Amino acid sequence: MTERDWRAVFAACTRFVTGHYPQPPRRTLEALAAFTPEDAQEDVYGEGALIEHFEAEIAALLGKPAAVFMPSGTMAQQIALRIWADRSGNAAFACHPTCHLEAHEDWAYRLLHGLHAELVGDRYRLLTLDDLKKLKAPVGTLLLELPQRPIGGVLPGWDELVAMTAWAREQGIILHLDGARLWECRPFYGRDYAAIAGLFDTVYVSFYKLLGGLTGAALAGPQDVIDEARVWQHRHGGRLLHLYPYVLSARQGMATHLNRVEAYCAKAVEVAAALAALDGVELTPNPPHTNMFHLFLRGDLARLNAAALDIAAETGVWLLRGPGLRPSQIPAYQMMEFVAGQATLDIPTTEIAALYAELLQRARA
């Protein structure tokens, strides 16, 4: 499947099994303009009422004294780890092998900040307290991701999470939360965001994943840490002349999606149960912990992707997450990340299951 092939078919689709409805930039900007208050004033290098009020709201939501808006989570997390390394006197931090800093940032933590990652646990399963107790070298900071997206969006139970963070504190280890998808964790834990974030010294959250913002992230924590983070943001080139389009987009995303999190997570559980009943389907976790899970379909990769493209062209329903399925660690199975969003809510679960059954049948033919 060429990029031109799938993009043309995708653009013609009107319904989408995963995620939110895509929309062209013009419509996105029109909606953002309509959302923007008439009296909104631009920020200048991150200063101004609009951005400062938003940062205060995020800090309060997460139960932290302060927060700073940044262009990206990559920037926010590197800065947090650098500050904690300097303060603890230990440049090593512990993280899961699939940690975003290790897997997707070209080792910037090492090359830009001289930090060292102690990878702990197995890359195909959830990090546990027993894993942490096997650390062979002292670390200054422990980074935990909630949920662990690369292995299906899994979460530790609340008691296990409390035990892990308590153990770290007993060892004098600072705690940082990769909360890129923290918004999706509330239904699983049955606790508000401040209660979850309260287990950690600093927390990063994203505004462009579930919330669908243009881009942007926030780092929240103690006032003095956030003050220092602003200095590092400048050093990283993240003190942009104007951040207000991204702040407004983040506000819009929170207003649109934050009160729908429970519905998205419930839909994921419902869809997972229906798909798990099909021959040739595996998924993890089952049931899902949040609004996402990893879906595995048995069959040839090229044939499955071609069948999905044919179904999309015939029905106007896009079944995939992005351009197509990809190889998995399970022999003879191909995989995709299934994320329940607004578009998912609008398709009956029975129809979703029937479409995937048709996909599997066509790929076998």
What is the tens place of the pLDDT at every residue in 263-316? 999 999 999 999 999 999 999 999 999 999 999 999 999 999 999 999 999 999
- Burial string for 131-140 (b: 16+ CB within 10 Å, else e) reads bbeeeeeebb
DSSP 260: G
- Burial string for 49-68 (b: 16+ CB within 10 Å, else e) reads ebbeebbeebbebbebebbb
- In the chain, CATH 3.90.1150.10 covers 3-23+260-364
> Mean pLDDT score of the chain, rounded to an integer?
97
* In contact, 160 and 195? CB cutoff 8 Å: no
> What are the tens digits of pLDDT across the range 142-162?
999 999 999 999 999 999 999
* In contact, 216 and 251? CB cutoff 8 Å: no
CATH of the structural domain 43-241, one choice from 3.40.640.10, 3.40.50.10860, 3.40.50.300, 3.40.718.10: 3.40.640.10
- In the chain, CATH 3.40.640.10 covers 43-241
pLDDT at 4 over 80: no
CATH of the structural domain 3-23+260-364, one choice from 3.30.70.580, 3.90.1150.10, 3.40.190.290, 3.40.47.10: 3.90.1150.10
pLDDT at 225 over 80: yes
| Largest Cα–Cα separation, the chain | 63
Q: How distant is the alpha carbon of residue 363 from its chain centre?
A: 31
Which residue spans within the chain are E strands per DSSP? Answer: 15-16, 66-70, 92-95, 116-119, 141-145, 174-179, 202-206, 217-221, 281-284, 292-298, 317-318, 326-327, 333-339
Full-model pTM: 0.96
Q: How far apart are CA 246 and CA 46, in angstroms?
A: 11
pLDDT at 2: 59
